Structure 1
Amino acid sequence: MKNFKLKCKTYAACRAPFAWVGGKSRLAKDIIALMPEHKTYAEVFGGALSVFYQKTPSKLEIINDINSELINLHRIIKSRPISLQIELNNMLRSREIFELIKNKAIKPRNNVQKAAFYYYLISLSFGAKMDNFAMSKSLRSPKNIYKSFEIYSKRLKMAVIENLSYEKFIKEYDGVDTLFYLDPPYIGTENYYKMPRAFDLKSHENLAFILKGVRAKFILSYNDCSVVRELYKDFNIKEVSTNYSLNINSINKKAKELIIMNY
């Protein structure tokens, strides 16, 4: 864990507190290294905030996601980290409980328990897809849900947390001093993401159209495909290599991804 300072305060660069579909824990350093100077940092598709947790804090930071359950989890990590930890410590790692929560047979009593249930499904499923209870054949033990969230709460303390569509968020925070980081659902994998509305080809085209008109600088991560290359052919495109897991036993496959910038 790497420490850095901003205005006499010490923060810790760390991995996100949970995994996420399409998470950027492996590419975060590459993305951060390409960031220009800015005053306002705004994440449009927050996910697990892998880049946010590894970057140096900016003067103003805003994180966003359209997924209200995910945003509730971030807000509880920020405001009630110990309560969340206690709630999870009182839960057993169980396939039966996983299915009951997934099928909404157990209703959360409050926002803390709602966040705990959501974290439970993320943490005990393969690839954070929240579909099936994960049990590694090699380790013979489910994933861990018992965690301290205090370091994440401190990092989130000064951040604004929004629950907006990408269109509204970009319009609200666009400005010459802003840096947008965007990690939209990848083309061809949109159904993996838990979103209140489908992110289809029109959404990808609309996002590209909006970004062509922003005053802010943006850095965008995407899968390498002909559609993306055509939509962003007028921008700076950098290829990077990464690995992703193919199955629960962590067999990895190399892949090429794109980092796209308007600077």
Structure 2
Amino acid sequence: MNKFISPLTWPGGKAKQWNLIKSYFPKNTERMRYIEPFFGGGSIGLNALREDLFRDYTFNDINTDLINFWKGIMSDKNFLEMYKPILKLIFHPKVKTLDEIKSIYAEIERETPNHWLLFLLKNNLTFNGSVKGTWTQQRLEQNWNHNKFERVLETSKLLNKKYWSTLPLVHFENNPAQGSMFFGKYNSKTWMKNTFYYIDPPYFEIKNLYEYSMSQKQWKKFKGWIREINNYGAKFCISLNDCPEVREMFKEFNIYEAAWKYTSSNTKNCPIKIGKELIITNYEIKE
């Protein structure tokens, strides 16, 4: 099955690495719950959902605007289908000037200030998806077209998949990753042993890439949280940048090296680089 590409541009997005990352997942996960504490652009969770790898899914992120975007396109499934011809005009390839897009943005903002489409516009028209970045003509021409709209439609359908035809498969939360969502109502060993966490936190000590990075104090709490997950019997897979501090922090677990090609700006003129990542698990991977 071809990998699914998220409609969002996101720092550290891993859609192109889906098959590689999936190879580090546990086997026979169809009866397990999937929790992703740092959902971000959603590439891994959406692909897992598309391939029906788990029984249900909880997607969490501390970014409220981001979670509102995902919940918005999830709840707007009927709206998207009903107004598809009109909405496609917004994504029309002939809309090629920033002034036209800004006019559309202002009109939507007047009518529905928190609409998911506003977040999508800001995300797609700035370098690396930065909400606070400057909109550029280059990003508009490369990243705003009918293919983008089709991704939004497909994502909405994915998020509305049902369990046994009636129960929703997907739940969204808007909490700090180490928040009460994960310990409180979920902290029984019976519940946790059937739970899998895919954890893709901000890269260690790389602060200018993310809107939400982590301090040394937060990393210390993060390490304690990982140990608690492990003690409760849940399985986890962490993806982090390769550096001595990360290797030391998680030396008690299984550490695997992964490498892949990536471009930092998603443009044709950007040279190909090799991304080096550590995959950290509390279960062994049979190669």
Range into which the TM-score falls when normalised by the shorter chain:
0.7 to 0.9
Correspondent of 1:257 among 261, 268, 277: 277
Number of residue pairs aligned between Structure 1 and Structure 2: 247
Equivalent residue, structure 1, for 2:41: 48
Deviations 1:62-82 (A, max 9, x none): 111111111111111212146
Q: Which amino acid aligns with 1:41?
A: Y
Say whether residues 1:209 and 2:219 are aligned partners: no
Contact persistence 2:241–2:276 (CA under 8 A)? yes
2-side partners of 1:167 and 1:223: how far apart? 20
Q: Secondary structure at the match of 1:141?
A: helix
Contact persistence 1:124–1:142 (CA under 8 A)? no
Q: Secondary structure at the match of 1:170?
A: coil
Say whether residues 1:95 and 2:98 are aligned partners: yes
% identical equivalent positions? 28
2-side partners of 1:48 and 1:154: how far apart? 17
Contact persistence 1:61–1:160 (CA under 8 A)? yes
Compute the RMSD of aligned alpha carbons. 2.9
Q: Highest CA radius of gyration, 1 or 2?
A: 2
Equivalent residue, structure 1, for 2:165: none
2-side partners of 1:106 and 1:96: how far apart? 14
2-side partners of 1:105 and 1:259: how far apart? 45
Structure 1 residues 89 and 100 mapped into 2: Cα distance closer, same or farther (>3 Å)?
closer
Structure 1: gaps of 5 or more residues: 3-12
Equivalent residue, structure 1, for 2:195: 178
Q: Secondary structure at the match of 1:155?
A: helix
2-side partners of 1:140 and 1:50: how far apart? 22
Correspondent of 1:64 among 57, 60, 63: 60
Instruction: Compute the displacement of 1:40 (Å).
Output: 0.3
Deviations 1:74-110 (A, max 9, x none): 11121214646655743755435777999x9984543
Contact persistence 2:33–2:194 (CA under 8 A)? yes
Q: Which amino acid aligns with 1:53?
A: L
Q: Secondary structure at the match of 1:243?
A: strand
Instruction: Compute the displacement of 1:255 (Å).
Output: 2.2
State the TM-score, normalized to the length of structure 1. 0.82
Say whether residues 1:150 and 2:162 are aligned partners: no
Structure 2: gaps of 5 or more residues: 161-168
Deviations 1:20-42 (A, max 9, x none): 11111122212211211441001
State the TM-score, normalized to the length of structure 2. 0.75
Deviations 1:96-137 (A, max 9, x none): 5777999x99845437x531111011111221123122444x
Structure with a larger share of its residues in strand: 1
Structure with a larger share of its residues in helix: 2
Contact persistence 2:254–2:280 (CA under 8 A)? yes
Instruction: Compute the displacement of 1:18 (Å).
Output: 2.0
Structure 1 residues 182 and 98 mapped into 2: Cα distance closer, same or farther (>3 Å)?
farther
